[in-house]
Amino acid sequence: MGLITEIDYGTPKSDADKDVTLTIDGFSVTVPEGTSIMRAAMETGIQIPKLCATDMVDAFGSCRLCLVEIEGRNGTPSSCTTPVAPDMVVKTQTGKLKDIRRGVMELYISDHPLDCLTCAANGDCELQDMAGVVGLRDVRYGYDGENHVHARRAGDGAENFRWMKKDESNPYFTYDPSKCIVCSRCVRACEEVQGTFALTIEGRGFESRVSAGMHQPFIESECVSCGACVQACPTATLREKSVIEIGQPEHSVVTTCAYCGVGCSFKAEMRGDELVRMMPYKDGKANRGHSCVKGRFAWGYATHKDRILNPMVRDKITDPWREVSWEEAFSHVASEFRRIQYQYGKGAIGGITSSRCTNEETFLVQKLIRQGFGNNNVDTCARVCHSPTGYGLKTTFGTSAGTQDFDSVEHTDVALVIGANPTDGHPVFASRLKKRLRAGAKLIVIDPRRIDLVRQPHVEAAHHLPLRPGTNVAVLTALAHVIVTEGLFDEAFIRERCDWSEFEDFAAFAAEPQHSPEEVEKVSGVAADTIRAAARLYATGGNAAIYYGLGVTEHSQGSTTVMAIANLAMLTGNIGRPGVGVNPLRGQNNVQGACDMGSFPHELPGYRHMSDDATREVFEAVWNVALDPEPGLRIPNMLDAAVEGTFRGIYIQGEDILQSDPDTKHVAAGLAAMDCVVVHDLFLNETANYAHVFLPGSTFLEKDGTFTNAERRINRVRKVMAPKNGLADWEVTQRLAQAMGLDWAYTHPAQVMDEIALTTPSFAGVDYDLLEREGSVQWPCNDKAPTGTPVMHIGGFVRGKGKFIRTDYVATDEKSGPRFPLLLTTGRILSQYNVGAQTRRTDNVVWHSEDRLEIHPHDAEQRGLRDGDWVRIRSRAGETTLRALVTDRVAPGVVYTTFHHPDTQANVVTTEFSDWATNCPEYKVTAVQVSPSNGPSDWQVEYEEQARLARRIARPLEAAE
C-alpha cells in the first residue's frame, strides 16, 4: 500500500473518433486526433518536462519547459499546445531543448525561495521535480536582485514592496505568494473545473501575481473553497493547512465521500492512521477529479471532541447518561425490545435505516427488523425527501431512480433545473453542468428563489420561472400544454415507446384551457410568455435533460410533480440516450442505496412489494423466517402510534428525526412516549435527547461498504482507520441482532453484498471483486448488463410502455391568508450539510454560522424589519426566531431559510401536510407570519434547557489517592 499517484497526461483527453499516428523519440504512437504531443508522449511513457500543464485544464503554453523539436518545422513549439499530426516526427530531448529548459528553470528558481527542506511541498513539488529533471545545477543570476521571495531587500534591508504576506484567511489552505511561479494553473482550475472565476492574475510581467477576487484575502473573495486550485498548484503556494501541519502522506486509499448524493471518489491520503487530506480521485466517474468544500476539507468532525465513543444507557430521558460496555448495551436493548413486543405486540417496535450509512448497513437494519422484529416497521429519511421520486418514476418509467449518469450532462443542450440548487446542494455536479453551459448549452430554472445558477459569472439562465411555492404541477402542466398545443411533441418516440391511447388522453387533458400559460400565470405568478418560451426551448433545443431536487418532492403534490416531469420527458422524446433524461439530485450520500435496500415498510430490497409472494419466498428461504406480507408503519405513523401508546421502541440508525422531520413538537411527543428509543449515531444529536440507549457510530472512514449515488452508481467505501468507537456500524447492528437471538455471522460487508446480490435481481451481478475491477457500477447490474447500466430505458422503458399520467393541479391546503400572509420555503447552503451534525463541527462554520430568514425588501419594510434584525416566524404549527436577511433573491410574499442549525428549529414551524402518495412532508410550503422579535421563543428556551439536561453524562469520580 503506497501513495496512489495518478498519471498526469498534461492536457485533457481528446474525444475525436479519428486516430493519428506519429513518431516520438523513435517510437510510433497512435492517439485520437486533437491530442497534444505532450499527452501522446505520456501515453507511450515519455514524460516531457512541464509546469503550467495539467490534464484537468486546457493547455496554456506559458511555462516554456515542454518545448520539443518537430522535423520539418521551425523553432521549438510547446508540446502542450501543439496537436499531433499524421506522420509527425517529434524529438523531446535534444541538446538545444536541454539548454532552453535549463535556462528557463534557472529563471524560475531565481525568483523562488530555496527553502525546500522546510517547505510544506517538500516531496510533492513539481518545481522541485523539474529542477531535477532538467539538471539544474546553478542559478547564475543570484538572489540579490528584484524578487518576490524576501520581505526585505538584500542590500539595504529596506522593505521589499514586491513581497506579499502569506494569506491564511481560508480555514483549510494557505496562499503564499512568495512561492508562486505564476503558472496560472490555479486560475484555470477555478475557471474551467469549478466555474467560479474567483482567481485572476493581476498586474503584468514581473509584477504578475495570483489574486483572489480584487486583491483580497481568499475568504473575502468569491472563492467557494472547492480546493481545485490547491490540487492544481505545482508548488507550495496553495497548500492544505493539514499538510503544513502534519507533513506529506505516505499511503492512500480510494473511497467515497459521505456527504451529498453526487458520491465523489476521493483518495484518503494517510500518514499511519492519521488522515492528512482528501484528494479528489480522477478516475471517480461521478466527480472526474473534482470536489467541493465539504468532501475535500470538512472531515474534521470524524475526530471532533463531541463524538461519543462509548455506549450509554439510561432509564429515563431526564436521567444523565451512564456509560456501559457494548455487551450491556446490546443485552439491555434486546431485553427491552423483547419485553415491549411481549407486552404490546410484535408491531410495537420498529426502526429507521440511515441514508448516511452503507448499503450493507441499511440492508442489515431492515433485515433485523423483518427477520428479528418480525414486522415491517422500517422506514428511512427518504420518507422526507425523495419518496415521491421513487413512486413517480416507478409509475411512469418502471424504475425508482434517475435515468442518466453524470457524464450525460456533457451531451446536454438544454438543462431544466427545477426545485434544486445545485451550486449549493450538489456542487460538483453543478460545476460539471456549468462547464457545459459555458460551452453553449441553455438553462431553464424553475424556482421561487433566484438561485445562484440563474445568474453568475459566465452562466445565465435563458429563462427563470420564479413560481409561487406549491404551484409546480400547474407550471409543469402548462409547459406540457404548450408542447401539446403547438405540436412540439415527438410523435415517433411516443408511438414507439409509450401507449398511444394514454398519450391521447393526456394530450386532451393538457390541452384544456385551464392549463394554458395565461391561466397558470394567475396561480403561479410566472408570466405566460416566459412559460411558453421555456416550453419551446425545452421541446426544441436539442438534448434536453431535467435535473430536480427536493423543491419538487417536498410538497403535497410531490409525486404528481415527478410524474409531470416524466410526462415532459416522454412528450419530447428526451429519454433513453446520453444528454437527456430525468435526474433526481439525491440529497444524502446513500439515500438512493437506502431506498434500494428495502428501507420502506411496503418494499423489500429492489422495490418489490411486501405482498409479492415470489419475492417474499426468496427472502424467507435465505433468512429462514416467515415474512409479514402486510406493509408496516411509516415514520409519521410510528410517531402517531407512539403518542397513542401502541408503539414503544425504536432503533434509529444515523438519523436525527427530531431536527429533520416536520412538526418538531409532534416528533418530540412521539419519542417521549416510547419506552426504549435507541439512537445509533456519531454525536448526541437532537433525537438523542429523547433516547434511552445511545450506540456510538463509526464514520465513513472507519468501515468497508458501498454507497449508491444519485446516478445509481455503487461506489466502494473503504476503511482507512480503525473505528474509534470500536465497532463499524454493520458490526453494531449484527451484535444487536445476535443479542436478539439471530444467527448472523458476517465477517465482512462483502458477504452482505453477496446476500443482496443473491436476493435482488437488479444487484445480481454486483460483488466486491467486480467493484474492485470496474471501480464502480451503476445498477441494474446483472446478466443483461454485466458491468452496469449508465443510461436507462435505451430502446424502451423498463415497465414496457412509458405511462402518461394526468397531472391535475390541486392547490395545497397550506394557503397564505390574513393571519399567515407569507409562504416559507426551505433549502440548503454550500458549506453546511443538512442538519449540520457534521459540518457544524468543522471550520465550515466560518461561512455559515447561523440560519437566516431571507425576506424581500418590500415585505421587510412593511414589518419594519432591517437586515440582521431578530424576527419571529409563526405558522399554525409553531413559532421560532432567527435573524432576517433582506434580499430580493426571494419574491415578495415568499420567505426562505436553511435548516442547518438546531437552535433555529425551522421544523417547529413546518406542518403535518404531506405528499398524497408517499407522506413526504410539505417542507417547501408553509404559510407564516413574520414579525419583529427581541429574542428566542418560549419553545427555543425550553428546548435548550431540555437538551442541556438530556446531554449530561455521569462519569464516576476519580478516587483521591
Partner 1 sequence: MQQQGTQAPADVAGRTIAVIAATKGLEGPLLPILNGVQAEFGFVPQEALPVIADALNLSRAEVHGVVSFYHDYRREPAGRHVVKLCRAEACQSMDGDALAARLMDLLGIGFHETAADGSVTLEPVYCLGLCACAPAAMVDGQVIGRLDRDAVAAIAREVRS
- Residues within the interface to partner 1 (CB under 8 A): 196-204, 211-215, 221-222, 455-460
The DSSP H or E segment spanning 128 is helix 126-133
Q: In a 10 Å sphere around its CB, with 0-12 CB exposed, 13-18 middle and 19+ buried, how is residue 946 labelled?
A: middle
Query: From the centroid of its chain, how far is CA 292?
Result: 9
Give me the helix-helix angle, 472-485 and 528-540, nearest 10°. 60
Q: How far is the CB of 452 from partner 1 (least distance, A)?
A: 12
* CB neighbour list of residue 502: distance below 8 Å, 6 or more residues apart: 801, 803, 804
Quick one: 199 or 771, whose CB is closer to partner 1?
A: 199
Nearer to partner 1, 87 or 460 (CB): 460
- In the numeric block, which cell numbers belong to residue 518? 395565461
Closest CB 209 distance from partner 1, rounded Å: 9
CB neighbours of 890 closer than 8 A, spacing ≥ 6? 448, 449, 450, 854, 855, 856, 896
**Which CB atom, from 19 or from 159, has the smaller least distance to partner 1?**
159
- State in angstroms the smallest separation of the CB of 211 from partner 1: 6
- Maximum pairwise Cα distance, the chain: 92
DSSP state of 578: T
Is 481 in contact with 517 (CB distance < 8 Å)?
yes
- Residue whose CB is less far from partner 1, 221 or 354: 221
DSSP assignment of 65-101? -SB-EETTS-S--BTTTSBP-TT-EEES--HHHHHHH
C-alpha cell at 94: 535534444
Measured from the CB atom, is 306 or 460 closer to partner 1?
460
- Reduced to 3 states (helix: H, G, I; strand: E, B; else coil), residue 870 is strand
3-state DSSP assignment of residue 938: helix
For residues 211 and 175, give the distance between their C-alpha atoms in angstroms, rounded to a whole number: 10
Helix-helix angle 359-367:749-759, to 10 degrees: 70
Report in angstroms how near the CB of residue 691 gets to partner 1 at its nearest.
47
Give whichever of 191 and 859 is closer to partner 1, judged by the CB atom.
191
Nearer to partner 1, 200 or 471 (CB): 200
Nearer to partner 1 among residue 191 and residue 656 (C-beta):
191
User: For residue 270, what is its C-alpha cell?
Assistant: 494517510
Burial 751-779 (b: 16+ CB within 10 A, else e): ebbbbbbebbbbbbbbbbebbeebbbbbb
Q: How far is the CB of 293 from partner 1 (least distance, A)?
A: 18
Which is nearer to partner 1, 201 or 533 (by Cβ)?
201
Residue with Cβ nearer partner 1 (459 or 618): 459
Q: 420 vs 232, 417, 454, CA distance in Å?
A: 29, 6, 12
Question: What stretch of H or E contains 620?
Answer: helix 613-623
CB of 2 to partner 1, least distance (A): 38
Query: Counting runs of H as helices and runs of E as strands, what totals does the chain give?
Result: 29, 37
User: Grid coordinates in use for 480?
Assistant: 406540457
Calculate the CA 438 to chain-centre distance. Answer: 22
CB of 750 to partner 1, least distance (A): 47
| Beta carbon of residue 198, minimum distance to partner 1 (angstroms, whole number) | 6
Distance CA 471, CA 399 (A): 26
Considering the complex, what minimum distance in angstroms separates the CB of residue 193 from partner 1?
15
Closest contact distance (angstroms) between CB of 292 and partner 1 is 18
| Cα–Cα distance for residue pair 476/480, rounded to 1 Å | 6
Nearest to 227 by CA among 196, 256, 260: 196
Closer to partner 1 by CB, 195 or 836: give it: 195
Tell me which DSSP letter residue 407 carries.
Answer: G
| Cell 403561479 -> residue | 524
Helix axes 517-524, 472-485, angle to 10 degrees: 170
Q: Closest CB to partner 1 among 211 and 842?
A: 211
Tell me how far apart the alpha carbons of residues 257 and 270 are, in angstroms, rounded to a whole number. Answer: 15
Minimum CB distance to partner 1 smaller for 185 or for 277: 185
**Minimum separation from the CB atom of position 204 to partner 1 (A):** 5
**Residue placing its CB nearer to partner 1 in the complex, 197 or 939:** 197
- 215 versus 773: smaller Cβ distance to partner 1: 215
- Of 18 and 204, which has the nearer Cβ to partner 1? 204
Smallest distance, Å, CB 207 to partner 1?
A: 8
Q: Count Cα neighbours of 416 within 13 Å in the Cβ-side half-sphere.
A: 30
Q: How far is the CB of 557 from partner 1 (least distance, A)?
A: 35
In terms of phi and psi (left: phi > 0; alpha: psi -120 to 50; beta: otherwise), the region of 683 is beta
Name the minimum Å distance from CB 164 to partner 1. 14
How many C-beta atoms lie closer than 10 Å to residue 835's C-beta?
A: 22
Q: Which CB atom, from 145 or from 457, has the smaller least distance to partner 1?
A: 457
Q: What is the DSSP string of 345-406?
A: -GGGEEEEE-TTS-HHHHHHHHHIIIIII-S--EEEGGGGTTHHHHHHHHHHTSSSS-S--G
Least distance to partner 1, CB of residue 602, Å:
48
Minimum gap (Å) between residue 669 Cβ and partner 1: 49
CB of 869 to partner 1, least distance (A): 25
Q: What Cα–Cα distance (Å) separates residue 423 from each residue in 430, 498, 914?
A: 5, 34, 27
CB 61, min distance to partner 1, A: 18
Nearer to partner 1, 117 or 158 (CB): 158
